[in-house]
Amino acid sequence: MKCSVLFSCILVSFMCEIYANDAESSKSDAEDQLTVSVSQGLMRGVFMKSSTGRQVASFRSIPYAKPPVEGLRFHDPIPAGSWDGVLDASKEGPKCIQYDSLLRSTVGQEDCLVLNVFTHDVNAKQLKPVMVFIHGGGFLMGSGNGETDMYGPKLFLDRDIVFVSMNYRLGPLGFLSTEDSEAPGNYGLLDQSLALKWVRENIGSFGGDPNSITIFGESAGGASVEYQVLSPLSKGLFDRAISQSGSSMCYWSLHPNIGEKSLKLASLLQCPTDSRQLLECLRAKSAIEIIKMGKTFQTWDAVDLVMTFGPRIDNEREFPFLPAHPRSMISAKNFNSVPYITGLNQNEGCLVLAPLLAKGGKGMKDLEKDPIKYLPFLLGMEHAENKAEVARKVMNLLDSDRPISKQLQTLEEMFSDTIMFKCIDESANLFRKFNDNPTYFYHYAHRGTLSLAMLMGAPPNVQLGVCHADELFVLFANDLLPGPVSADDKIISSLLIDLWTSFAGQGTPRSELAPEWLPMNAEERRYLHIDATNRVMTSENLPFHHRLPFWNQILDDSIVEDEKPLKNEL
């Protein structure tokens, strides 16, 4: 099996269904332990094992919202109703329908708003901290699944926590907007918020503490966590938050022109432009038609990186999810103040560079042939009016006497700066000044045995550093992905899970494998550097800080005036 298929390859479930006798007297003690009552009714799960063999009760594919189909498509999620009998929660549910860029096919289904709960004891005398994971995937793909996706929770379940994951609507089905009250958008984020409400109301039935809920996520999941921190609609639904390699202020995360893209999608599907008629027409189309047509927004066949639909400021609502720009909300302290961890990986730009090198380097050849055309696309500026001018300024960072393909480190730094470093750094600076609770920052620099670059098809002989998402390979494990492989991987895995679970339990990240992790404050920008051989607290500038003034200068002219970023204080 090619490693590029690992994320999305579907396996036959290794668990068997539990067949229970209706007569109460015939049930075994084990079956009794796996039957749980929640607000919607009874459900039955199955046992599994953590990575060290601890027994875990798993309950999967639990509906938290009504199926978002027909009249509920492009509609705020509605809580799921009660079910008859006992819900079979022994198997994973489907992914939300999406175009999977790794499999290069459409997978999943529209009826997908479910969550998964894993616990050690449904009858726990002492309630345990709850960790709710929000998956990434550019708001276009992914799922919270642990068998048919990569997020197997076995490593986390070695610790005394309750683990929850969820699915939410993606792509145009999750984020299309007419930019008016007919369809304000942000349905995927509202799905997440409703799932968190379900967790708050029901997690006690699984031995989880409803007053100790930590949300965490990576990439678009990390940005989603920050959106939940910002949103007034999620107030009181969680107690701590962790954003890994994602921010609400990244260009790929906050979309100012969803309405324009929605009109284009409607036109391609031969739907009218009037908002109400447009929605009626799109609701009559199949979900597969909409997803496949959304794929046509891709403008470069060599690189599958289009993030067309995503979160937006939805102040057309009576009660907006995101009432204003994140920058102004944080500066005004208009957010849910909770203890917060945010951070990034050393070579985030590998996410862009790896596809350029895949498929025989077709993308790199295109870039070398016409950098003025393709650089704006890679920098997220393909729609900017001055994109050619910006591309020419960026070209000055490269050595004109050498082929671009021989300057991989410079390219990686450019992509890292623009897709992640600039926006995450700004977000961290704002939270350290305006969050009334501690804000912690990390810099992840462990080069593990497995890397996202491998799955994206980069040549194995090219070292691209510590790629975007690489920490996931030591945080999660299942039958497809082994988890930590080398001795150093295992050290870092234990370290990260120590930090994340202690933060979930006490609000302070601690591990015997790392120095004391101090939060930032308004006066001092400090962070934990994480590597197998070098774990240190420091107040020194991050390695990319000296490059940010350049990006602030040339990119400011491409940003709408009221959305211009604050200058970084280095």
Give the residue numbers annotated as catalytic, written as ranges. 219, 348, 468
3-state DSSP assignment of residue 199: helix
Helical H runs in 370-407? 371-378, 387-395
CB under 8 Å to 323, separation ≥6 — which residues? 232, 313, 314, 315, 329
Distance CA 150, CA 474 (A): 11
CB under 8 Å to 412, separation ≥6 — which residues? 347, 349, 350, 353, 464, 465
H/E stretch holding 562 reads none
Residue located via tokens 């295109």: 366
End-to-end CA distance of the chain: 46
- Cα 180–chain centre separation: 26
Helical H runs in 440-547? 452-455, 472-475, 487-506
- Cα 3–chain centre separation: 21
CB under 8 Å to 28, separation ≥6 — which residues? none
3-state DSSP assignment of residue 395: helix
Identify whether the C-beta of residue 325 lies closer than 8 Å to the C-beta of residue 562: yes
The amino acid occupying position 83 is: W
Distance CA 181, CA 173 (A): 17
Q: Using the 8-state DSSP alphabet, how is residue 225 labeled?
A: H
CB under 8 Å to 369, separation ≥6 — which residues? none
Identify whether the C-beta of residue 162 lies closer than 8 Å to the C-beta of residue 214: no
Structure tokens of 445? 């620099």
Phi then psi for residue 104, to 5 deg, are: 55, 50
Tally of residues, the chain = 570
Phi then psi for residue 496, to 5 deg, are: -60, -45
Distance CA 27, CA 89 (A): 17
CB under 8 Å to 58, separation ≥6 — which residues? 15, 45, 46, 47, 48, 89, 90, 116, 117, 118
Structure tokens of 169? 């609507």
For every residue of 17-64, which 3-state class applies, written as one string? CCCCCCCHHHCCHHHHHCEEEECCEEEECEEEECCCCCEEEEEEEEEC
